[in-house]
Amino acid sequence: MKRVGLVGWRGMVGSVLMQRMHAERDFALMEPVFFSTSRVGELGPFIGKETAPLKDAKSVRELALMDIVISCQGGDYTHEVFPRLRASGWKGYWIDAASALRMQDDAVIILDPVNMNVIKDALSRGVRNYIGGNCTVSLMLMGMHGLLKADLVQWMTSMTYQAASGAGAEHVRELVKQIGFVHQAARSSLEDPASAILELDRAVTSALRDESFPKQQFAFPLAGEPPSVDRQRPRQRPEPRRMQISSRRQQDSRPRK
């Protein structure tokens, strides 16, 4: 039975994954080992059976004992741990929800209802890194899969923005705190129907600029105009990598200017 390490299972993405794996009884098909970056040694989650105490998610020695590592911990974690784990000689499978490795040549973007044949081909070729696609694009591809399979789509494009939840559970908690802080500051104006709207606006602006405004995670008021809620991107962006749907559609047929 394969030893499967799970990292980031408490976060937004990881929590949904845990629910689905429990519902599908996936844990009965593996030996799950749960890791943590902050609660090492505490009891692991109950998954219908007891689990061992949490392992250190930054320990290459512990991670190297796994046949498979599934990470929902985010891009910073992947950038920090993955290179060291591979450098140690680990030959296991790395499955990641973050975008950190999505552009790498030795990785395959996975969405099994759409490109299962590509995944199977990659497995047969010894590919070891399997990375989840952008969530919005993945949903779009699920809906468009029939048209793509029938070769009725030449090309398509979409624009997406990073959700606060993509930065992790602690960021979501802070967003709720920020909303509560602003509401409390503007409460008297909100409860008085006769209050001037500019008075309300001043109260909100003052709250956003307050030194005690909760911004330990985001470093800025999300209610304003955030520069980024994930990793800082380089100014010169690389050519977007298109998810391979089938082996015969490897090149984008859209003419380039």
How far apart CA 26 and CA 6 sit, in angstroms, is: 13
131 with 172, same domain: the answer is: no
104: domain CATH number? 3.40.50.720
What local confidence, expressed as pLDDT, does residue 257 receive? Answer: 44
Average pLDDT by consecutive 10-residue portion of the chain (257 residues)? 96 91 95 96 92 97 98 95 98 96 96 94 98 89 90 84 73 92 94 92 93 91 60 50 48 43
Task: Measure CA 24 to chain center.
Answer: 21
Strand 129-132 to 68-71 pairing: unpaired
Number of domains in the chain: 2
What local confidence, expressed as pLDDT, does residue 224 receive? Answer: 63
Q: What is the DSSP letter of 255?
A: P
Which domain covers residue 178, as residue numbers?
165-229
What local confidence, expressed as pLDDT, does residue 225 receive? Answer: 54
What local confidence, expressed as pLDDT, does residue 229 receive? Answer: 46
What local confidence, expressed as pLDDT, does residue 93 receive? Answer: 98
- Strands of the chain, DSSP E: 3-7, 31-36, 55-56, 68-71, 93-96, 107-110, 129-132
pTM: 0.75
- Domain assignment present for residue 252? The answer is no
Strand partners, 32: 4
The residue whose two tokens read 């070891």 is 128
